[in-house]
Structure formats: structure tokens, C-alpha cells
Structure 1
């Protein structure tokens, strides 16, 4: 049974979400602010976090970044702010999804289930994108009996994006994850490698698409067959 952290300083929203989520078979742990949420993450094994942006002590953006740096779980931000700049800030801090208040609880439930599906695509060693399988242990791609080999950094970049389909990665995140924090080049390296990947797989649109989110970074989407 999966456990969901609901962090919101509004007690009524916490109560509502607990009712909806437990009715659907999830366990729920609650936090009234970001500081308490950090404690709950240490106390419980959490599978997904629903986080309000405007909270005392530690706000939702800071908490989201903390989760992204320390836990491998999906995050949904809740906020009353609907400006594009606010959404951009959320994605820059590492959120997987963004829901504006007021919201329909059932819609949030749909989004939670979608995120669990995305995260479950990746296993320890292999990631399946329809007919294409990324074998991270052997650094190769497989499609049926065909084996494809890529340059190391292209492979690692593709595997990083494919491990979390639908999640937006900033260029700086990809630099740190693929090239390492001590990399001395600039973020245009990511753009060059993305271009090469698109050229290699331009005829493979049935498997996946790498989308550009202007001014932020990239995300990989698995094509629904």
C-alpha cells in the first residue's frame, strides 16, 4: 500500500485529501508546514508528496527542492497562484506536476495515479519505452533482436530522462546528473546532446518524444499506443 504525504497549512484541505486518498486505498501522513513535512519524510516511507506552496517556516518550493535532493519520489505542488512565472518556479524547484486551487479532488487523484504509472516504468536496470528497452547495466538499447549502441553521454542523458517520463529537468539539473557537479563546460552541452538524440531517433516517434520547455529544459514523454 502506497503512502502519500499531504503537506498543507490548511487543515480543511488536509482532511479532504486524506478522506479522498484513503477511500482510494492510500495511506496518508499529514504535515501542517514544510518543517513538519521533513520530519514525516524521515519517520515514514513516503511514495509521493502533495505539497502546498504557501506554508510557514519552510515553504512548498523549498520543501520540493529538499525532496528532490534527498528522495526519489514524485511531487505535486498545490497553489492558488496561476501565473506562468509561478509555475516556472515550481518546475525549477523540481516538481513533477502543478495543480492550482481551487481544484477537484478527483482530478488530483487522477494526476497521482498518472505519476505512479510514470515512475513505475523504470526498474533497477531496464527502462521500457514501448518497443525500446534501455539497459542501463550494459549501456545498450534493445528493440526486439536489434541492439543499439550510443555514445556514453548520449546514453546516460536518454536514460536519465526516460527514468522519469513526463518530469521536466532543467539544463543545470541534467548537467549535474549526467556530467557531474564539477563539469566545467556550459549548459549548451545539453542542447547539443538532445539534438543528437532527436536526430538518431527521428523515425522512432512511436516510442517517445523529447520535448523542449522553453527557457527551462527538457522532458521525455512516452507515446501512448
Structure 2
């Protein structure tokens, strides 16, 4: 199977080549950077090329909804990769729809200078490489987290939340509430947020990593590559979805 490390996606072929040249300045020399434009991905059949990272530029409002299908397609074809979306036009659009489509990171950059983009891509790819060097392990039997030669004990509810996030990566507030055994119609949202905040703080204090990201107005997502489970228990389908 052919493995290419990074895929740069932009609206047109010429823009994708410019995008590739910019990204190539940030990645190690041994990594290959492929390019695609929107049309190539929309019309293409299933790809047999698998990527470590996919970076998608959205530079116009009209391209916003079009890229959602591209994100879904690339996520289906590259389930283990990290997808990074950079929005380079002035917009008040929520990032949530990109996360729901399968993106891992979404950054809005109104300033479109090459220097600004370069610094963002450099930071992202460096962080992505660091996160995928290894990570934490959730031990459901012992209700603890292992990593970096340390052990962190967690509660049963905290273990269930982490397990659900590992399996689904992105959960709404209602889905988190159901995992925690709360009434999804009457639970106290502030209490839920405090519970997740305590879990985040506990892990960060112990390992120095913020593995649970808050998605404003929606819920929480897990940073890809930072934690895995030693085994999975079946997770029921949630009936209350936002």
C-alpha cells in the first residue's frame, strides 16, 4: 500500500500547488507532500493513498459547505490521520460543523500572509508529530491511566467518559450526560462542565497534556493520538442527539 505523509488540499489546482510549497517548508525533508484541489476529490473514486496528515484550506464562504463533503470523504479513507482545517476568510461560522464532519483541528486565519500560515502549519505539524509518538493508555479493568511511567487513578464515571470519547472522539453535552448516567432532559449543564473540567485538569496536572477539548455550544472532543484504551466495552447508541 502506498503511504504518502501529507496531503494539501485547496480550492483550485494552482492554489493547491502554492499551498503545497508553503507546507513543504515546514515538514521534514523525508516527508512527501501531495496536492489535490476540491474538484479532484469530489469526483474521485476511493483513494488507495493513505496520509499521516491532511491540511485543507477554505478561502471563500462558498467553499465552506463544499469542504464538509471533502472532510467526510478524506476521514472515511484515512480514519487514523489528523485532519487540519484552516479558514482564511473573515467568518463568524462555527467550527463545530467541521469537527462533526471529521476534522481534528480548525483554525481561522484572517491574515493570509505566507508567514502567518507558515507559523501555523509548523506549529501544527510539530504538535501532530509529538502527539503521535506515543500516548496514554486507559485501563478500564483497573480504572486508571498509564503513561510516561506514571499511573493516575480515575473514577468509574470518568473512565466511562474517556472510553466513550476514545471510541467516538466527539460527543455532545447530551451524549456526555447519558454516559455519566444523568437525565438528559433535566441535568445541570454547569455541573456536567465542572465534572469534565476536573477530569481535564486532573490529567493535565499528572501528564501535562490537555487531551479533552471544549467545543463551545456543542460538547467535547478528544485530541487524536494522545490516549488509547487497552480494550473496549460495547457502547450503546445514544437516542438523544443534538
Q: Same fold (TM over 0.5)?
A: yes
Q: Distance in 2 between matches of 1:21 and 1:41?
A: 25
Change (3 A) 1:202 1:98: closer
Q: Is the 8 A contact 1:135 1:141 kept in 2?
A: yes
1:63 CA drift (Å):
1.7
Residues 189-225 of structure 1 show CA distances to partners (whole Å, capped at 9, x for unaligned) of 8x66664454467666523555533302224689xxx
Q: Distance in 1 between matches of 2:67 and 2:205?
A: 36
Aligned partner of 2:89 in structure 1 is 81
1:27 CA drift (Å):
0.6
Aligned-pair Cα RMSD in Å: 4.4
Q: Secondary structure at the match of 1:141?
A: strand
Q: Is the 8 A contact 1:6 1:30 kept in 2?
A: yes
**Does the alignment pair 1:217 with 2:219?**
yes
TM-score w.r.t. length of structure 1: 0.63
- Structure of higher RCO (CA pairs closer than 8 Å, 6+ residues apart): 2
After superposition, residues 115-194 of structure 1 pair within 5 angstroms as: 115-122=128-135, 127=136, 134-135=138-139, 139-142=143-146, 148=153, 150-151=155-156, 154-159=158-163, 169-171=170-172, 175=175, 186=184
Match for 1:15 among 17, 38, 53? 17
Q: Is the 8 A contact 1:121 1:163 kept in 2?
A: no
Match for 2:47 among 42, 51, 54? 42
Q: Distance in 2 between matches of 1:21 and 1:201?
A: 32
Q: Distance in 2 between matches of 1:5 and 1:50?
A: 6
1:46 CA drift (Å):
0.6
Q: Is the 8 A contact 2:7 2:54 kept in 1?
A: yes
Aligned partner of 1:67 in structure 2 is 74
Aligned partner of 2:238 in structure 1 is none
Aligned residues: 202
